[in-house]
Amino acid sequence: MTGQGIPEEYLDGYARILADASATGRRLTRDELDSRRALGERAADAGHGLRALVGAHLAATRAHWPAAHAASADSALAAAEQAVDAFAEGYERAQRLAVRQEEAARREFIDDLLYGRSDLGLLAERAERFGLRLSYEHAVAVAQGADGYEEGHTVPREVERALVGRFGDRSILVTTKDGRLVCIAPGDQDEVLAYFAKQAYAATDGGRVAIGRPQPGPGGVVQSYEEALNALDLAARLELDEPVLRAADLLVYPVLTRDRQAMADLVLNTLGPLRHARGGARPLLETLTVFFDAGCVAAEAARRLALSVRALTYRLERIHQLTGADPADPVHRYTLQTAVIGARLLDWPDKEF
């Protein structure tokens, strides 16, 4: 063991190489350089720090310094430089390999976690390596921007740094999946996901963030993740403007579409007659959508549609004539509004069913 606490095995042959090279003035041979690289790799795999290893080499260089003329001293310095450089090269190569292996293991774990693959007990064991305890509740937030993001991209790194800087180690995992940013956090720490949403919105230049509900157990992460993805899909279909969506606030939509055939029947029976209007169903369907989004306030709906109130009123009357349902009647309004939501979710009338 050296004075730096480094085992002598990592300096094996160094004194002999130094003495021979300083006496002859030669450069290190290929085999000698390869042996230094191999020792560097072994030292890295064993977990020794490079600073201590270089210090051990310097100490060995002083201990075996040639006592002859200056020429041998120059040769000794050149040999020491070559040997330490080769040793550090091997060390760094081992570290790069370890990093790649760690990244591959992390990627595999994330894929298994978010797709619900692998044995749940084994998944829970692997999760602890990455700071997650899957026996607890977890919630997942997903951020989607105009661009796709992969592991190592500056955007996920920036968001992760902000979270760690704010909350430290709180069993938070920030990653990417299918070009989106993903944050997994304990279910009782909503402030973490709220802060992630704020940072991700800024980092993605106004992207959209969806937050799934906290779910328990090893399978809870994939459930919360799927809820967040479904919320993003709903937002796109319904053209929702909110930058941050919570799955808990959108539960009515999965309920409405759980029986797809029933919803399709409602859309066709209620809104199907709009296809007979001049210009087809699309303009009148848009009128209904904006009218309901405006809280059934005619003046506001007309402003959003760039119409006069009189023109809007004419359209609403035409809808009443075609469908038999009056948008201004509270009794009819619920059916119409539900059918409009169903049309948007099922992409009608662009897709027939």
Q: For 264-293, how does the pLDDT look when each residue is reduced to its tens digit (9 = 90+)?
A: 999 999 999 999 998 899 999 999 999 998
Q: Read off the pLDDT band of 192 (50, 70, 90).
A: very high
Q: Which residue has the tokens 């009189």?
A: 310
CA distance 47 to 27: 30
Q: Read off the pLDDT band of 20 (50, 70, 90).
A: confident
More confident residue, 109 or 88: 88
Q: Compute the radius of gyration of the chain from its Cα atoms.
A: 33
| CB neighbour class for 310 (10 Å; exposed up to 12, middle 13-18, buried from 19) | exposed
> Which of 40, 34, 76 minimizes the C-alpha distance to 58?
76
- Residues β-bridged to residue 142: 182, 210
Tokens of 248: 């808990």
User: Side by side, which strands form the sheet with 244-246?
Assistant: 173-177, 180-186, 138-144, 208-211, 244-246
Rounded mean pLDDT of the chain? Answer: 87
Give the residue-averaged pLDDT of 42-58: 90
Per-residue pLDDT at 352 exceeds 80: no
pLDDT tens-digit map of 204-251: 888 899 999 999 877 888 899 999 999 999 888 888 888 999 998 888
CA distance 319 to 326: 7
